[in-house]
Amino acid sequence: MKKRFDISSLMRSKLTWAVVAEALILLVCLIVRPDFFKISYQPSTGMLYGNLIDIVNRSSEITIIAMGMTMVIALGGTDLSVGALVAVAGAIALKFMRWDVTVYNTPGDYTVYPFVLAIVVPLLVCIAMGLFNGLLIAKGGMQPIIATLILMVCGRGIAQIVTNGKQFTTGYSPFRVIGQGSMFFLPTPIVITVIVIVCVSLFVRKTAFGTFVEAVGVNRSAARLSGINAQMVIFIVFALTGFLSGISGLIYSSRIMSNDSNNAGLNYEMDAILAVVIGGTSMTGGKFSLAGTVLGSIIIRTIVTLVYYFGIASEATMAFKAVIIAVVIVLQSEPVREAFAKRTRARSQLAGGGAVK
């Protein structure tokens, strides 16, 4: 009896459906490509290769941003500016490392300014932009979606001003490591992502910060009257999201060894929000699940990979992504989950009743 009841509450959990969805998609991948799960080791690069590794690697940028986005959404808001911040971070980093045609002939292994600046300054600027969002929301009392719309609209303009509208390239190898190198047999982005996940999870769950975020997200006024500094919580969350967008921007620009103010981080805000929602965090705020978000991000990437296998052009993957996401979201929607839970409950009650007789 007890166990049956658990099934019904499982059916109601959004995370369950996310796991089921991922499993199904992977299963289809396996049917299409029997060697899908194969992972091989390449001694020359010291890296592991395989589809699964590739999926996790390619989902890094979104996963990292989505960690911050999870808390933004738990606060009951959304941060639309993350994609623009990715572009800003890349622009600043390349500004510091740019290969200048008047000095050198080829994009070789050198940097114009110290490498530290190319890493630290973009991250600081992104934190500052996150704080700007936080300022409008916490002090100005604006809705997050509107406040972050401002930076979303003008962020790419800022990125273009930084580089004066130019596209720089670099060949500096330490920078290449961030997006294309390897550590512990894994692509560096995966390692960075794991570090981010661990740090954020520790920060959120090993301190009371997560509870504070949830409290402010559900009822800001009550949280404040309980002695929680709600403004501080909002500042920290948006600054953190800005910082994570910056990391993501560095990874992105290291992958292309260039800056791209128009396309870097394009639609990242959408993908990140989607990852959070698929992961089971409600857009109305409150309880959140970081594990769910990671899963959500991987689901999105797995879908894209799967679609490649059917030999469909990369731009068209969006259509299939849309269909699968639609299915996941409909399955996760409240009425549908309730209906499933009710059916299971009814069945278990029937069975239970039978046993008593």
Write out the residues near other proteins by the rule CB under 8 A.
78, 136, 140-143, 145-147, 149-158, 160-161, 165, 206-209, 211-212, 214-215, 218-219, 221-229, 261, 266, 270, 273-274, 277, 283-284, 286-287, 312-313, 315-323, 325-326, 329-330, 333-336
Q: Which is nearer to other proteins, 26 or 276 (CB)?
A: 276
Q: Which is nearer to other proteins, 151 or 178 (CB)?
A: 151
Q: Which is nearer to other proteins, 287 or 343 (CB)?
A: 287
- Let me know: does 317 contact 311? Beta carbons within 8 Å: no
Cross-strand partners of 182: 187
* Shortest spacing between CB 270 and other proteins, in angstroms: 5
Taking Cα atoms as reference points, which of 177, 174, 156 lies closest to residue 165? 156
* Shortest spacing between CB 208 and other proteins, in angstroms: 4
Q: Which is nearer to other proteins, 47 or 62 (CB)?
A: 62
- Strand locations in the chain, DSSP E? 39-42, 47-50, 182-183, 186-187
* Amino acid (one-letter) located at 284: T
Two structure tokens written together for 33? 């490509």
What is the 3-state composition of the chain as percent helix, strand, coil, each rounded to the nearest 5? 70, 5, 25
* Shortest spacing between CB 350 and other proteins, in angstroms: 16
* Shortest spacing between CB 79 and other proteins, in angstroms: 12
- Let me know: does 181 contact 190? Beta carbons within 8 Å: no
* Shortest spacing between CB 304 and other proteins, in angstroms: 11
Taking Cα atoms as reference points, which of 85, 42, 321, 73 lies closest to residue 187? 42
Q: Which is nearer to other proteins, 239 or 274 (CB)?
A: 274
- Let me know: does 59 contact 268? Beta carbons within 8 Å: no
Q: Which is nearer to other proteins, 142 or 194 (CB)?
A: 142
User: Where is 85: in which H helix or E strand?
Assistant: helix 82-97
User: Where is 271: in which H helix or E strand?
Assistant: helix 268-278
Q: Which is nearer to other proteins, 259 or 261 (CB)?
A: 261
- Let me know: does 53 contact 226? Beta carbons within 8 Å: no
Grouping H, G, I as helix, E, B as strand and the rest as coil, residue 40 is: strand
- Let me know: does 52 contact 305? Beta carbons within 8 Å: no
* Shortest spacing between CB 209 and other proteins, in angstroms: 5
Class of residue 42 by CB neighbours under 10 A (exposed 0-12, middle 13-18, buried 19+):
exposed
* Shortest spacing between CB 25 and other proteins, in angstroms: 16
Q: Which is nearer to other proteins, 38 or 205 (CB)?
A: 205
Cross-strand partners of 169: 258
* Shortest spacing between CB 149 and other proteins, in angstroms: 6
